[in-house]
Amino acid sequence: MDFSVSPEQRELVDAAARFSAERIAPTRRQRELHARLDPDLLATMGSLGLFGIELPERYGGLGLDRLTAGLVVEALSADDLNLGYVSINISLCGQILARFGQPGVADKWISGMVAGHVLPSIALTEPGSGSDAANLAMRAESDGDGYVLTGEKTSISLATQAGFCIVFARTGPPGSRAKGISAFLVPLDSPGVSRTEFDDHGSRCIGRGSLFFDGVRVPKDHLLGQQNAAFTQVMQGFDFSRAMLGLMCLAVARRSLDETWGHVGERESFGRPLAAYQGVSFPLAEAETQWLGARLLCLRTLWLKDQELPHTAEAAMCKWWPPKLAYDIVHTCLLLHGHGGYATELPYEQRLRDLLGVQIGDGTAQIMKLIIARDKAGREAVGV
């Protein structure tokens, strides 16, 4: 494994870290309170080349490797994971559209996202199916020169801010499970689309909501990949985003650990710095050890992706362990800040709320462990 990057790539990662310190950190609380992303901030990030690092240059991306893309997301996430989340969504949806979209249809959406002008969303979950995504009920009927989509998607990130959605719907007969599902690019200003927003615990500037499709018509060329093949084609991109989500969470844990080491080195109790007490320093030392192991896992997974080697089990590991570990680390850091850590003035309580959502979204820990078990013992032995 080689995780080294060129001086140019290092400069890009450093630029992302500077942008985070100068523009993302000071506006975190404002985003949280307004429960909205700032379009100007997104456009600035786009103009600085901070989105779509691995996407082809013809869409405005930089065409770099996934490892570098991961390091940039890490830098963008440290002060507010929600901006890292936006970047990951742009990469995930951009890769899907670049690979499976029709050239004349998908291009403007990819370029718009990379420029920071358009936000994407991806809709798999329904009121009756989450973990068991192959059980989805929403229908897409072929009708002349298009498809007509009818149904409800729920728990969709960016539902009310996105310009378009990658929607998974059933094109096969009822009971066809994964073999009867297709994906579509649906502009969210299409007639028949309506949206509602949830009042969420965390990631409030991203927001989640429901999308309702009431006979929404999309042209045939808005189908992504082949009909009935979305589960085998389009969902492959999730392995990449799972490794990125892991790094995003670990970036928040890193920032929290650095701040907390500083705090326990300065704050005194009983005449000595807090760090002098092993009850304080040992949990942080353990966190450092686990953090490093988890980060290496994520980097290795992106490296495997760059080498085009299998990495589905590793990606599932990145999606269950780092979000949980980061949550536990931030919890420790909050407690070591005493009463101050509990106040909204410091970022720890928001970090906890934001990290909790990542433990559910994009697949829960149990489902990730099922994927790992399937990889090791075989689908037949595992049974699902």
- Tell which residue, 155, 168, 184, 310, has the closest CA to residue 239: 310
CB of 368 to ligand FAD, least distance (A): 9
CA dist 13 and 50 (Å) reads: 9
CB of 89 to ligand FAD, least distance (A): 8
Nearest position to ligand FAD, beta carbon = 130
CB of 92 to ligand FAD, least distance (A): 10
CB closer to ligand FAD out of 62 and 113: 113
Q: Helix (H, G, I), strand (E, B), or coil: what is residue 367?
A: helix
Angle between helices 81-100 and 348-358 (to 10 degrees): 30
CB closer to ligand FAD out of 133 and 284: 133
Residues of this chain that interact with ligand FAD (CB under 6 A) are 122-125, 130-131, 155-157, 203, 208, 357, 360-364, 366-367, 384
CB of 124 to ligand FAD, least distance (A): 4
CB closer to ligand FAD out of 112 and 357: 357
CB closer to ligand FAD out of 323 and 341: 323
CA dist 384 and 315 (Å) reads: 18
CB closer to ligand FAD out of 292 and 360: 360
Buried b (16+ CB within 10 A) or exposed e, 183-196: bbbbebeeeebebe
Count Cβ atoms below 10 Å from residue 336 Cβ, excluding itself: 23
CB of 159 to ligand FAD, least distance (A): 8
CB closer to ligand FAD out of 38 and 200: 200
CA dist 14 and 242 (Å) reads: 23
Give me the half-sphere count of Cα atoms (radius 13 Å) on the Cβ side of residue 302.
27
CB of 58 to ligand FAD, least distance (A): 27
CA dist 375 and 260 (Å) reads: 38
